[in-house]
Each structure stands twice: as structure tokens, then as C-alpha cells.
Amino acid sequence: MPEGPAAKSHVLVVEDNPSDVYLLRLAFDRAGVDCEMTVLQDGAAAMAYIEQTEHDAARPALVIVDVNLPRRSGMDVLTALRAHPVFAPVAVAILSSSSSPRERAAIQQHENLRYFTKPPTLDEFLELGPALAKLFNS
Amino acid sequence: MAPPSNTFAVKRLLDRLAHVRGYTPALIALAGAVAIHFVLRTFGMANTIAIYFVYVASIIISGWCGYGPGVLVVVLAVGIIPYWYRTNYSIAQTNPGVTAALLVISLFLSHASAARRRSEEDLKLLNEELEDRVHQRTAELELANKRQLAAQTQLELVTQTVAAAITRCSRDQKFIWVNARYAEWVGKPASEIIGRYIVDVLGPYRLAAAQPYIDQVLAGQNVEFQAYIEVPPLGRRWIHATYVPTYDDARAVDGWVAHVTDISAIKEAQEELARVNSHLRDANLQLARTNGDLERFAFVASHDLQEPLRMITTFSQLLVRSQNGNMGKETEFFVNNIVDGTRRMRQLLADILAYTEIDQRPQEAASIDLNVLLDNVRKNLAEPMKATNASVTADALPRLDAPEGYLLPLFQNLIENAIKYRSHEAPRIHVGTYTKEDIPHFSVSDNGIGIDPEYHQQIFTVFKRLHGGQIPGTGVGLAICQKIVERQGGRIWVESAVGAGTTVHFSLPGLHATKGGGA
């Protein structure tokens, strides 16, 4: 796809906490990553969105999924993503507020996926910007 | 008084004469007879008649004095006495017929008298023996009587003082005998009970309650039962009763003996015990539920509280950052305090989470080389070790079949503590191992500030800290260690004194140890 440096990348964010959405925007801004974010605030809405997407043009550069979501869990969303022709090749970043080893082990079995614990300090959170940008589909 | 005494004396004299036997009296008697013979001759009796007197006397003497003296006397009378008054007398002149007859008669008489005497003596002996036996038997009877009396007294004492009510009843359901306690329990004197029908003494209601058991015992069975009955002087009591049948000579049941004891105290104790046990069970169940709830709560709370904390920290920092240094030193100081507080709180929540997770973590055991595990601990603690110039040495450690999730925090917490509570010297920490009673034991020793023995117990309690702000910590580390050790059935304890360093010992009896790989 002909994408110049000025072209905006599309990032799909499934996150119910507006503060974290704000911080993600901030992290991308500080990292100089110009992206457009589609935010879905619960698991069910995310799954509906995935189902309705038909064209490859709507394929995002990255999907960021929180584990703890209202209505449907991040794991359900992840399964739906992997099963969908448009989203299957897209890299996924899982954001979790806990670092339970069990949860981590279960999630890390997927390919093309990174697991992040939501960082407890501002500086660490801002470091997420460049780290997430590296995952963008080129 | 005189005449009976005289008769007795005469009888005694005769009795004694009858016993005088032997040669001397025989010869004296013969001499007497010969003397009488001479007197008779002197008074003109024909010699031939007088001599017969001697013959008769000799026969009587021989019957009296026995064989030997009898023969001697007869021979003397026939053969010798005639010399005194006959001239030219020779033994050939003796009338052999008379002599033989005399001898035969004399022998017969002495034999008869001897036989009589013998039978008399036998009779006398028999009498004496009989008398002895009578004496002996009487004595025996007296002794038996005495014994029986003693036994009866003893039985009476026992039955009257025993703590049980005892009665004997007849087949027609009358009281034959009761002990004092039975009378006391019935509430009537024994004289008003014995000989009466049970129904008249106890009333139809109480008899009806016992009737099934009475029927059984009269059918020849031993009966045992417990009942809650009215005992007039005591009120309602739990009793234990035993009925045993009694038999007549024809082996037919002719009644029974009842033995009744008051078991109210035992019953009450049993009921109390059951009540207490039931309460205890309930309390345990409640406690288990509460503990479970508490752990779940602690897990959820510590997990979910992390989120708002993260927000407070991040946005406080964002607040400072967004003002680009225009905020003033004081405001910045405030925000830094907020951030610092939330950092401590985050650590606390993480530790609580770790503590509650011990019970929720899967327990898959793997063979773990503790030497390797210790290397991982050294890596994890590299930063504080470098900062304090600490060294961690160890014995050759074994392999343990255990979940790694348990052993790593156990050793790491203890070594971390040893670094944290160091003295002015660089921390020198040693991990030791030994086997006691086949159970693997470990020790972590340091040269730190030590712990006052007064606190050796409470340091294992969650959130219990001996040092305030000067040494950072949450007071959960040792509680985690204790929980891990106790989950393996082990024990953890401290040997320490202020200024003398600390050694923490723990045993892991649930875990099988093999020689370490050393790799």
C-alpha cells in the first residue's frame, strides 16, 4: 500500500477506561506517531465492529485490546479478531492492568501479539508510544 | 452325793481289775486258790473235791489273764501242786484226760476273753474316732457359718452402699428384695416395697414403661436399656438398667434381678459435647467461609485497587509535566508526595496479591535445583546487592521436587530481608542446608542488625514491621515465607539477637530432596 510518512495510520483501540485512551494518544503524540484512533469501549461493541467490517481498506495498522472489558472479555475479542479475514493478519497489543503469570501465559501463545502490563508511572506509559508504533503493519 | 460317788468308785475299781493281766496277777491268783484249797482241806473237805476248786480257779484265771499265764497256771495246778500233799507223786500219775480238758478249756477261755477284749478296744477306738470327727465337723460348721455370715454382711454392705439401685423380683412381678438406693429412688421405705406387687409400688404408668423389658427378662434374656424416667427424690433422670433372669431348681425363670444406675451426668456431658462439637463445626465452617471470602476479597481488592492508583500516579505526574515548570516548587513537592505515596501503596498491594496468590497458584511440582534457583535470586537482586556490596554464599544445595512458584519467593524474600536489614557492614549472607529427622532443613544467615527475641514470633504476621519509615517494606515478605513453608507442612523460625545477625531456619517435610546437580 502506498503510504507516505504523512499518511495517518489507523489504530483500533478496545479500552473502557477513557484515561488510558487519553494516555495512549499522549504516548503516540510524544513519540511523533501520527495516527487515527477508533475507540470501542466494551467487548461486545468491539465484536460487533469486527463482524461489520468487510473491506480490507478498513484494516487497521494495530489493534490494542484491554483484557478486562465490560460485557465481553479481551480474550473473546482476540479470538474474534483472529477468526476474521480482515483482522487476522493485524498485529495485536494486549494491555493488561495485572501481570498475572497465568493470564500472560495463556495470551502469549498467540502469534503476532505483544503483551503489555499497563505501566504504573507516566514516563513508563509514554515509552509505550514507540513500542506500539513498532508493531504497526507496514 | 455319796452313794453315786461310791458306785462310781466300785465301777472304776472293777474296770481297772478287768485290765489287770499278765503272769504276776495269775500266779498271785493261783496262790490264793491253792491257799483256799488248803483251808477247805483243813476244814475236812475231801481232797479230790478241793483239788477241783484249784482247777476251776486256774481255768478262770487263764480266761482272765491271757494265753501264756493261763497255760502256766493250768500246768502248775495239774502237775506241781499235788507234790505238796502227795508222796511219790510223778508226772506219770497225772490224769492226762483231765489235764487235756483243762488245757483246752483254759485256751478257749483265754481266746474268748482276748477276742472280747479286742472288740471292746476296737469299739472304744471307734468311739473315740467318732467323737473326734464330731468335734472336727462341729468346728468346720462353725467356721463355715462364720464365713457365710461375713460374706452376707459384705454382700449386704455392698448392695446397700453401691451407687446403683438393685432389686430382685419374682415371676409374678412382686418385689422380693430391694437395696437402700432402690427404696430411696422409689421414695418409700423398703418395708413398704418388699412383698408387694410392682404395679402397687410404682403405679401402672411406670410399670407399663418397664413391661417390655420385664417380658424379655422373664423369657430368659439378659436385658439392657437406657431410659429417661421420673425418680421421685431426684426428678427426671437418665438411667441405665440391666435385667438378669433368676432360675429355680428346675432351671425355669422364677424372676429377675434389676440393676439400675443414674447416667444423667454422662448423658448430659455427652449432649453437651455433641452441642459443643456441633457449634465447633459450625464455627469452623464459618471460619473457612470467612477465610475464603477474605482471601478472595484481598485478591480482588489488591488487584482492582492497582488501577485507580495507577491513574493517580500517572495523572499527578502529568499535572506537573503539563505546567512546564510554572507550578512552583511547593506544588511540585506536594505532587511528588502523592506519587511516592501511591508507589508505596502499589508495592503493598502487589505484596498482598502475592500473599493471597500462594493459595491460588497451581502447584505443579518440578525437580528444582536450588543452586540454580539461588543464581536466579542473585540475578533478581543484583541491583540491591551491588548497591550494598552484599555477598550470598551457599552450601551445596539439593534438588527439591516442588513448585518453583513457591521456592523462589521463599528464598528471595529471606535474602532480600538480609540485605535490607543490614548493619553498617556489607551484608554477608549464607544459605545452609541440613537434614534433621529425615526432613530437609534450610537456613539463611546474615550479619545484619538482628532481631530482639521478643519479636521473633510477631515478625511472621502480615503487615507486622519492626522498623518504621527508615527501612522500606510492607511487612508481608516473612508472612509469605511462613505461608509457603506451612503449606508444605514445615515450620519457620528465627534465631537472632540484636547486633548478632539473624538466622532464619525452615523445614520442608513435604518435599523430597535429592542431591543437587550443581549445574
State the nearest Cα–Cα gap between A47 and chain B, in angstroms. Answer: 25
Q: How high is the ipTM of this complex? A: 0.80
Which phi and psi (to 5°) does residue A3 adopt?
A: -125, 115
Mean pLDDT of A118-135: 90
What DSSP element (H or E) covers B351? helix B329-357
Q: Look up the pTM and report it.
A: 0.46
Q: Does B317 touch chain A (CB under 8 A)?
A: yes
C-alpha cell at B306: 492497582
| Chain B contact set for A102 (CB, 8 A) | 362
On average, the pLDDT of chain A sits at 85
| Chain B contact set for A26 (CB, 8 A) | 318
| Chain B contact set for A101 (CB, 8 A) | 405
Contact A82, A110 (CB under 8 A): yes
C-alpha cell at A67: 483484557
- Helices and strands (DSSP H and E) totals, chain B: 14, 13
Note the pLDDT of residue B80: 66
| Chain B contact set for A97 (CB, 8 A) | 303, 306-307, 310
Mean pLDDT of A30-55: 90
Note the pLDDT of residue B87: 57
Q: Does A106 touch chain B (CB under 8 A)?
A: no
Residue position matching grid coordinates 505443579: B364
Note the pLDDT of residue A105: 76
Q: Does B135 touch chain A (CB under 8 A)?
A: no
User: String of b and e for B140-159 (b: at least 16 CB within 10 Å)?
Assistant: eeeeeeeeeeeeeeeeeeeb
C-alpha cell at B445: 544467615
Q: Does B356 touch chain A (CB under 8 A)?
A: no
Which phi and psi (to 5°) does residue A106 adopt?
A: -65, -40
One DSSP character per residue, B60-126 reads: HHHHHH-HHHHHHHHHHHHHTHHHHH-TT--GGGS-HHHHHHHHHHHHHHHHHHHHHHHHHHHHHHH
| Chain A contact set for B313 (CB, 8 A) | 120-122
What is the biggest distance separating any 2 CA atoms in chain B, rounded to whole angstroms?
200
Note the pLDDT of residue B519: 40
> From the list A98, A122, A123, which residue is nearest B303 (CB)?
A98
State the nearest Cα–Cα gap between A97 and chain B, in angstroms. Answer: 7
One DSSP character per residue, B133-199 reads: HHHHHHHHHHHHHHHHHHHHHHHHHHHHHSSSEEEEEETTSBEEEE-HHHHHHHTS-GGGTTTSBHH
SS (H, E, C) B211-223: HHHHHHHHCCCCE
Residue position matching grid coordinates 437395696: B179
Q: Does B437 touch chain A (CB under 8 A)?
A: no
The pLDDT confidence band at residue A3, using thresholds 50, 70 and 90, is very low
Q: Does A111 touch chain B (CB under 8 A)?
A: no
Q: Does A17 touch chain B (CB under 8 A)?
A: yes
Binary contact (B314, A121; C-beta < 8 A): yes
What DSSP element (H or E) covers B237? strand B235-247
C-alpha cell at B184: 430411696
C-alpha cell at B407: 521456592
Which of A 117-136 lie inside 8 A of B, CB atoms? 118-123, 125
Q: Tens-of-pLDDT digits for all 519 residues of chain B?
A: 445 556 777 777 766 665 566 778 778 888 887 788 778 878 877 666 767 777 777 777 777 777 777 777 777 777 766 666 665 655 556 677 777 787 788 778 778 877 887 888 899 999 999 999 999 999 999 999 999 999 988 888 888 888 889 999 999 999 999 998 899 888 889 899 999 999 999 888 888 989 999 999 999 999 999 988 888 788 888 999 999 999 999 999 999 999 999 998 898 899 899 999 999 999 988 888 887 777 777 777 777 788 888 888 899 888 888 877 777 788 888 888 888 888 888 888 888 877 877 776 666 778 888 899 999 999 989 989 999 999 999 998 888 888 777 888 899 999 998 998 888 889 999 999 998 888 889 999 999 888 888 888 878 877 777 776 667 777 788 888 988 888 888 999 999 888 888 999 999 887 777 776 544
